[in-house]
Amino acid sequence: MRALLVVNPRATATTERSRDVLVRALESAADLTVRYTERRGHATTLARAAAESGVDVVVTLGGDGTVNEAVNGLMTAPAALAELAGPAAYRLPALAVVPGGSTNVFARALGLPRDWADGTSVILDGLRDGRHRVINLGRADDRYFTFTAGLGLDAAVIRRVEQARLRGRTSTPGLYLRATLGQFFTGIDRADPPMTMERPGETTETGLGTIIVQNTAPWTYAGDRPVDPNPDASFDLGLDVLALRRLSVSGTTRTVTQLAWRSGEPHGKQVLRLHDLADFTVMSSRPQAFQLDGDYLGERQKVHFVSVPSALRVIC
């Protein structure tokens, strides 16, 4: 078995010594090549090249951003794009994820241990037993995502957090809370919701202020606690949506309280929740912040979302 280990050397939850231990462990189970990412987008290039060369498994050590890049590399390899019978998952290398970031939503949603050493043990057992799971992915225009996408407030918050981290701040729940409050009260036009959502054969939804798309549950974590606006979202189904209409202080506070203290499932006049969607398009009258899997990707005014069934084999 041939394997590629893609390492983000800036991963927050590992050290050089722990990376050496991981390499030795994986070498016991596979013919291993190790590559370190050098820039944003590098993991995409490495994973695509691995798929083209016939590698059996791509292992990532990093956070959700590293995972997203690797997935996009696999899904844009020739084998994934070829017009062949059968799902892409069986034409591509499997993916194994060692949690090395600060939140690791994708790995935790798969049920992997939060600790990188325990996660490595699960992956080694999976490799030896040939155990894997086939999951669906989401696609936003030409970019794939594993667990979430967003337009509006949540993406703008991620932009603020990334800017703070560039200034040396540490990613913590408190940093996200401060970024959310700052963006909500000073960074958006709450009185004029700019977005609409179109679904084939359905009435267009208008007057939307922010949109969160889920490919699985939970949406994210606040420390150890899952935040779960659409608890029925699943890797085995289509995409789920939570959208908020006019972002009033009272209505948004009520929704946040429901998420924080009532086990998710927000409701109310300002809330739109949709389950198991195969295809929809979001449009905006003005540019909106846009994120995939917790990475800010600039501003967009139109995004076409698609659920991609049986897209990826994951060792778990």
Burial (CB count <10 Å: 0-12, 13-18, 19+), residue 46: buried
- Phi/psi for 43 (5° steps) reads -60, -30
Helices (H) and strands (E) in the chain, counts: 9, 16
Termini Cα distance of the chain: 17
73 to each of 40, 51, 76, 198, 237, how far by Cα in Å?
A: 13, 8, 5, 29, 23
SS3 state at 8: coil
pLDDT in tens, the chain (316 residues): 999 999 999 877 778 888 888 999 999 999 999 999 999 999 999 999 999 999 999 999 999 999 999 999 999 998 887 766 678 899 999 999 999 888 899 999 999 998 888 989 999 999 999 999 999 999 999 999 999 999 998 898 888 877 776 776 766 666 666 766 666 656 566 678 999 999 999 999 999 999 999 999 999 988 888 888 999 999 999 999 999 987 665 555 556 555 655 555 676 678 899 999 999 999 999 999 999 999 999 999 999 999 999 999 999 8
Q: Which residue has the tokens 């390492």?
A: 7
Q: What is d(CA 260, CA 263) in angstroms, rounded to the nearest whole number?
A: 7
For residue 90, the 8-state DSSP code is G
